[in-house]
Amino acid sequence: MISPTFPAELKAALDARLQGFSRTDAAQRSQKISTTYRAGGGSGTIKSEADALAYALARMPATYAAVAASLSALIEIAPDLAPETLLDVGAGPGTASWAAAEAFSSLQDFTLLDANATLSRLALELARDSSRLSGCRYLPGDAAANLAEVSQADLVVASYVIGELGESDQRKLAETMWAKARHALVVIEPGTPAGYARILALRQQLTAAGAFVAAPCPHEKPCPLIAPDWCHFNQRLPRSQAHRQIKGAEVPFEDERFIYVALTRAPPAARGPRVLAPPDVGKAEITAKLCTEDGVALAKVPRRDKAAYAGARRWRWGDAVLSES
Ligand X SMILES: C[S@@+](CC[C@H](N)C(=O)[O-])C[C@H]1O[C@@H](n2cnc3c(N)ncnc32)[C@H](O)[C@@H]1O
Q: Binding residues for ligand X, per CB under 6 A?
A: 42-43, 60, 63, 90-93, 95-96, 113-116, 119, 142-143, 159-161, 164-165
Contact in structure between 98 and 64 (CB atoms under 8 Å): yes
Cβ 44 to ligand X shortest distance, Å: 8
SS3 238: strand
Give Cα 88 to chain centroid, integer Å: 12
Based on the number of CB atoms within 10 Å of its own CB, is 304 exposed (0-12), middle (13-18) or buried (19 or more)?
exposed
Based on the number of CB atoms within 10 Å of its own CB, is 20 exposed (0-12), middle (13-18) or buried (19 or more)?
exposed
Nearer to ligand X, 95 or 264 (CB): 95
Nearer to ligand X, 51 or 164 (CB): 164
Nearer to ligand X, 62 or 81 (CB): 62
Cis peptide before 228 (omega within 30 of 0): yes
Please count the other Cβ atoms lying within 10 Å of the Cβ belonging to residue 84: 14
Nearer to ligand X, 221 or 236 (CB): 236
As a whole number of angstroms, the distance between CA 298 and CA 271 comes to: 18
Helix/strand/coil percentages in the chain, nearest 5: 40, 25, 35
Task: Enter the DSSP assignment of 320.
Answer: B
Nearer to ligand X, 122 or 217 (CB): 122
Cβ 138 to ligand X shortest distance, Å: 11
SS3 113: strand
Taking CB atoms, the residue at the shortest distance from ligand X is: 92
Phi-psi region of 319 (alpha: psi -120 to 50; beta: other; left: phi over 0): beta
As a whole number of angstroms, the distance between CA 187 and CA 157 comes to: 6
Side-chain half-sphere exposure of 81, counting CA atoms within 13 A: 34
Q: What is the dihedral of CA 142, 143, 147, 148, to 10 degrees?
A: -40
Cβ 99 to ligand X shortest distance, Å: 9
Cβ 5 to ligand X shortest distance, Å: 15
Nearer to ligand X, 32 or 303 (CB): 32
As a whole number of angstroms, the distance between CA 53 and CA 33 comes to: 11
Cβ 83 to ligand X shortest distance, Å: 17
Cβ 93 to ligand X shortest distance, Å: 6
Nearer to ligand X, 258 or 315 (CB): 258
The helix (H) or strand (E) run that includes residue 135 is none
Nearer to ligand X, 96 or 320 (CB): 96
Cβ 100 to ligand X shortest distance, Å: 11
Nearer to ligand X, 191 or 273 (CB): 191
Cβ 36 to ligand X shortest distance, Å: 11
As a whole number of angstroms, the distance between CA 217 and CA 297 comes to: 13
Cβ 175 to ligand X shortest distance, Å: 14
